[in-house]
């Protein structure tokens, strides 16, 4: 779909699109089968797209991120570039984008923002440069939607260190991660009773991970469990070095939701493009199926959903006002875009008929991937409950 944007924006989009279609797309089948991990390509992408300056600047000054991509340094265009980077990645491989977002966004950017200078240098920058793989460990077997209230992982305070015990599940990148941002409820000491994040490294005695889980979709993104059996963690590994982190989980979730909305939008846009092109070419009853009003109706409804979702994911570009300013809006955007992703992907399958159901036409993979975004980062129900709470304050 060609949206009405400026020529600089179009150039940025075309650059990302060409890169992901030419470099990432050929690797997707092997990644989906689990024969190739996403991490080597992340390192390559980081180098080839010159993301070092792009992301490093985000560590000290989020507004400057993107400057290297948009040589002009125009803030408006920079916003466009940031979102388009995620959207274009998701058009080709939502699972690659999920793994990248969990490592660089949820681990890297989080530690960069809240960590001590030592933590930023030792963990955030190597993860942002894709030299190390990060993971973000909140969900537990008995605590999903109620992740904070139901958290059973404990961090026992023992003076110079904490002892972590518990387990995490459904953690993106866990089977191969080098570093883990693990949430636990503190017992004893100055932070008693609070939930804090700890930076753990693979190889620490007592820390182990499970095998990659077999999933409906997002198969190119390894997911797994993390087991913590009395892991002794020095106090320096507490994110921020022991400063009580209020609202940390909430703001991490907000970032996750904004990112996931962009992935859903990318999925929807690609599926719409595939379906529209197909409808114009596929002949039945002696004419293109796009001539049939019943097919047109599906395409028109897909377009309506897509253009509304676009308003959410590009909110800061279109209205010069970041969506992240309002919790209710973030949840509304995540909920809506996630549903649009699934809706448009399944409509695309329908328009392609039997071919849509076949692997080689891509839309069946994107439809399976789309469903995850209605669950991860808080299910649809959790978004609704949060929106209701916020608007009834
Ligand atoms: C592929 C994948 C990757 C993931 N990656 C990560 C990750 O990197 N890090 C991480 O921490 N987590 C991750 N998750 C976990 C994800 O965030 C959780 O699966 C999600 O929050 C839902 O939790 P749950 O699966 O335990 O479902 P549950 O909380 O058990 O929910 C089950 C159903 O009950 C509904 N429900 C629950 N409570 C209520 C209520 N009060 N009112 C109405 N309905 C309710 C839910 O909406 C849902 O439909 C990932 C999950 C998947 C599948």
Q: Which residues are catalytic?
A: 256
Q: What's the alpha-carbon Rg for the chain, to the nearest Å?
A: 21
- Residue 377 pLDDT exceeds 80: yes
With vertex at residue 366, the alpha carbon angle to CA 362 and CA 372, rounded to the nearest 5 degrees, is: 160
- The vertex-171 CA angle with 169 and 174, nearest 5°, equals 110
pLDDT category at 324 given cuts 50, 70, 90 is low
Residue 345 confidence (pLDDT) above 80: yes
Which amino acids bring their CB within 6 angstroms of ligand 1? Answer: 102, 136-139, 144-145, 170-172, 215, 218, 223, 372, 375-379, 381
Q: Is 378 left (phi over 0), alpha (psi -120 to 50) or beta?
A: left
Say which residue the tokens 């279109």 belong to.
318
Report all structural domains of the chain as residue ranges with CATH numbers, in order of start: 7-128 (1.10.540), 134-242 (2.40.110.10), 248-391 (1.20.140.10)
Going by alpha carbons, the residue nearest to atom 14 of ligand 1 is 170
Query: Cβ atoms within 10 A of the Cβ of 161, count?
Result: 17
| Average pLDDT for 3-31 | 94
pLDDT level of residue 245 (50, 70, 90 thresholds): low
pLDDT score of 365 more than 90: yes
CA 297 to chain centre: 31
| CA 5 from centroid of its chain's CA atoms | 25
**Per-residue pLDDT at 246:** 63
Higher pLDDT, 339 or 56: 339
* pLDDT recorded at residue 340: 98
The CA 47 to ligand 1 mean position distance, Å, reads 34
Of residues 318 and 112, more confidently modeled? 112
pLDDT at res. 249: 83
Asked whether the predicted pLDDT for residue 382 surpasses 70, the reply is yes
Calculate how far, in angstroms, residue 96's C-alpha sits from the geometric centre of ligand 1.
20
pLDDT band at 323 (very low <50, low <70, confident <90, very high): low
Q: Which pLDDT value is given to residue 168?
A: 98
- Whole-angstrom Cα distance, residue 193 to residue 89? 40
Instruction: Give whole-number Cα distances, 10 to 7, 14, 77, 257, in Å.
Output: 5, 6, 10, 26
Q: Which residues of 276-293 are buried (b: 16+ CB within 10 A; e: fewer)?
A: bebbeebeeeeeebbeee
- What pLDDT is attached to residue 61? 46
pTM (predicted TM-score): 0.95
Ligand 1: residue of 170, 335, 380 to mutate (most ligand atoms within 8 A of CB) is 170
- Secondary structure, 3-state, 126-191: HHHCCCCCEEEECCECCECCCCCCCCCCEEEECCCEEEEEEEEEEEECCCCCCEEEEEEEEECCCC
Looking at beta carbons, which pairs linking 7-11 to residues 24 or more positions away fall under 8 Å? 8/70, 8/72, 8/74, 8/77, 9/77, 9/80, 9/84
31-79 confidence digits (pLDDT tens): 999 999 999 999 999 999 988 776 655 555 444 444 344 444 577 888 8
Distance CA 150, CA 194 (A): 13
Over residues 362-374, the mean pLDDT reads 98
- 317 pLDDT band, cuts 50/70/90, is confident
With the most atoms of ligand 1 within 8 angstroms of its CB, the residue from 98, 100, 379 to mutate is: 379
Lowest mean pLDDT among 106-120, 314-328, 372-386: 314-328
Question: Whose structure tokens read 């377009």?
Answer: 303
Interhelix angle 248-281/363-372, nearest 10 degrees? 160
Residue 70: per-residue pLDDT: 42
Average pLDDT score over residue span 351-371:
98
Q: Supply the pLDDT for residue 68.
A: 44
Summary mean pLDDT of the chain = 93
**Helical segments of the chain, H only:** 7-19, 28-32, 39-48, 51-60, 75-92, 94-100, 110-114, 117-119, 125-128, 248-281, 293-313, 315-319, 327-352, 363-372, 380-391
Q: Write down the pLDDT at residue 171.
A: 98
Tokens found for residue 294: 């019943």
pLDDT digits (tens, 9 = 90+) for 136-164: 999 999 999 999 999 999 999 999 999 99
145: CA distance to ligand 1 center in Å? 5
């Amino acid at each position: 779909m060609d949206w009405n944007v400026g020529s600089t924006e179009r150039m940025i989009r075309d650059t990302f699109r060409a890169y992901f279609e030419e470099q990432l797309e050929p690797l997707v089948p092997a990644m989906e089968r689990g024969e190739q991990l996403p991490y080597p390509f992340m390192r390559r992408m980081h180098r080839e797209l010159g993301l070092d300056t792009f992301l490093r600047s985000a560590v000290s000054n989020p507004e400057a991120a993107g400057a290297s991509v948009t040589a002009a340094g125009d803030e408006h265009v920079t916003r466009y570039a940031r979102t388009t980077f995620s959207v274009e990645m998701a058009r080709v491989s939502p699972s690659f984008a999920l793994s990248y977002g969990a490592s660089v966004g949820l681990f890297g950017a989080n530690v960069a923002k809240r960590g001590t200078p030592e933590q930023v240098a030792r963990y955030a920058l190597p993860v942002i440069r894709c030299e190390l793989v990060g993971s973000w460990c909140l969900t537990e077997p008995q605590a999903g939607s109620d992740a904070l209230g139901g958290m059973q992982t404990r961090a026992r305070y023992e003076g110079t260190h904490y002892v972590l015990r518990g387990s995490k599940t459904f953690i993106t990148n866990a089977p191969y991660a080098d570093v883990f941002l693990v949430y636990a409820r503190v017992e004893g000491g100055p932070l008693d009773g609070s939930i804090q994040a700890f930076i753990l490294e693979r190889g620490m005695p007592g820390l182990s991970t499970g095998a990659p889980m077999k999933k409906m979709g997002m198969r190119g993104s390894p997911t797994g469990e993390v087991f913590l059996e009395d892991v002794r963690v020095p106090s320096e590994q507490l994110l921020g070095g022991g400063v009580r982190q209020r609202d940390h989980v909430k703001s991490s979730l907000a970032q996750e939701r904004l990112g996931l909305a962009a992935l859903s939008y990318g999925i929807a846009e690609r599926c719409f493009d595939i379906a529209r092109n197909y409808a114009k070419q596929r002949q039945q009853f002696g004419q293109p199926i796009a001539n049939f009003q019943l097919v047109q109706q599906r395409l028109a409804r897909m377009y309506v959903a897509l253009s509304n979702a676009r308003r959410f994911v590009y909110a800061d570009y279109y209205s010069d006002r970041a969506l992240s300013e309002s919790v209710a809006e973030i949840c509304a955007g995540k909920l809506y875009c996630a549903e649009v992703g699934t809706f448009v992907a399944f409509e695309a399958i329908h328009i392609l008929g039997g071919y849509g159901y076949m692997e080689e036409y891509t839309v069946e993979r994107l439809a399976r991937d789309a469903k995850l975004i209605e669950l991860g980062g808080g299910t649809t129900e959790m978004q609704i409950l949060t929106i209701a709470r916020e608007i009834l304050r």
